[in-house]
Amino acid sequence: MEKGQGETPLITIAQHILQEQRRFPGATGEFSFLLSGITLAAKQIQAKVRRAGLTDILGDQDSANVHGEVQQKLDLYSNEVLLRALSFRESVGILASEENEHPAIMPHKSPVAKYAVVFDPLDGSSNIDVNVSVGTTFSILRRPEGADFDDPARWVLQPGRRQMAAGYVVYGSSTVMVYTVGNGVHGFTLDPAVGAFVLSHENIKMPDQGKYYSVNEAYRDNFPDEYITFLNELRSGELNHPYASRYIGSMVADFHRTLLRGGVFMYPPTRDFAQGKLRLLYEANPIAMLAEQAGGSATDGRQRILDIQPEDIHQRTPLIVGSRVEMQRFAELLVPASPDTGQGMAFPP
Ligand code: AHG
Ligand code: MN
Ligand code: MN
């Protein structure tokens, strides 16, 4: 009998969130209403992604985002969908997106708004036109004490350890939503026949060690020394067995594999980009929270990702995230930061 039928109880994401919410005394249901906005948007985005080749939605938009990157039509569509799905929820006060330079202040300016949501509406844009997996990432933060609508940055410039919840959706061979509220990591697969996300991966734990490393190796000559040493060790079998590589170029998809199969995903600093490419608030933070909840860890090469105090909504960070064994070895290779220069990493000559 197929999983999810017969004696196996069928649990939808909505039921699961309600169950999780019961753990919080005095919970009012606002939080589950908020998350239902994200699942609704995810269904709309996946429907568009699935029909991408049939409709006039592929390609560039003739515009660039705050990072100077060409925006794809699907980037903008996904952004609009998420903004629309979350703007009318009174519990949400501020929305910040990769595609918008400034955070959006919700017009209701409700005094009862408790949360800020930050997201990357479509991750892996370069893969859209070639039918390769893309994703959405999100991070939910509680409104800091005393923060008002005149200072939206205060709502979102919080270290990742304060995330209330985080997750992603991967639009792959199926559509899977993975989330955590700090009580383990759970995955739901969209049943397209009925339009519901059904629990398919309960309490995901990352294997202690994996078989793959995932990095854009074309930039290898520009990585700091310890990253090169680490990659050499993984390849040569010094860490119990020789590794193979997998790199999709969509962080969500690369991380989803790393979460389920173990191993390590990294986007290191390079000679030209000391902070790498990925963004702290809506890419690294949600991934780091999920990794830690699943028994793995995430660092920028200097400190735990979740301890970084953000200074800018769109700031970048190197990201190294993975299983216990790989992350421990990587930590041993890191050169401690010098108190004089603050430099912890050397680049090869
Ligand atoms: P986005 O599409 O949201 O701009 O993110 C793309 C990111 C990330 O998904 C991926 O890991 C990385 O870009 C790939 O970059 P490289 O092509 O430099 O490897
Ligand atoms: Mn992205
Ligand atoms: Mn994006």
Q: What is the pTM of this model?
A: 0.93
Q: Please give the distance, rounded to the nearest whole angstrom, from the Cα atom of residue 306 to the centre of ligand 2.
A: 18
Q: Which of 72, 118, 122, 125 to mutate to test the pocket of ligand 1 (most atoms within 8 A of CB)?
A: 125
List C-alpha distances in Å: 72 to 120, 122, 157, 171: 13, 9, 27, 16
Q: Which atom of ligand 1 is nearest to the CA of 124?
A: 2
Q: What is the pLDDT of residues 47-95, one digit of tens each?
A: 999 987 777 666 677 777 777 666 688 999 999 999 999 998 999 999 9
What distance in Å separates the CA atoms of residue 236 and residue 206, rounded to the nearest whole number? 23
Residue 249 Cβ contacting ligand 1 at under 6 Å: yes
User: Across the chain, what does the average pLDDT equal?
Assistant: 92
Sheet holding 175-180, edge to edge: 104-105, 92-97, 115-123, 134-142, 163-171, 175-180, 186-191, 196-201
DSSP-derived 3-state class of residue 91: coil
- In the chain, what are the domains? 13-201 (3.30.540.10), 212-333 (3.40.190.80)
Is the Cβ atom of 262 under 6 angstroms away from ligand 1? no
Model pLDDT, residue 53: 74
**pLDDT per residue as tens digits for the range 272-312:** 999 999 999 999 999 999 999 999 999 999 999 999 999 99
> Using alpha carbons only, how large is the chain's radius of gyration in Å?
20
Residue of 70, 118, 126 to test ligand 1 pocket, by largest number of atoms within 8 Å of CB:
126
Identity of the amino acid at 6 = G
Strands 319-322 and 297-299, how do they pair?
antiparallel
Query: Is residue 4 pLDDT above 60, yes or no?
Result: no
**pLDDT score recorded for residue 339:** 61
Do 94 and 144 contact (CB within 8 A), yes or no? no
Q: Which pLDDT band, with edges at 50, 70 and 90, does 3 fall under?
A: low
Q: Is 99 in the pocket of ligand 1 (CB under 6 A)?
A: no
State which ligand 1 atom lies nearest to the alpha carbon of 218. Answer: 19
d(CA 93, CA 104): 9
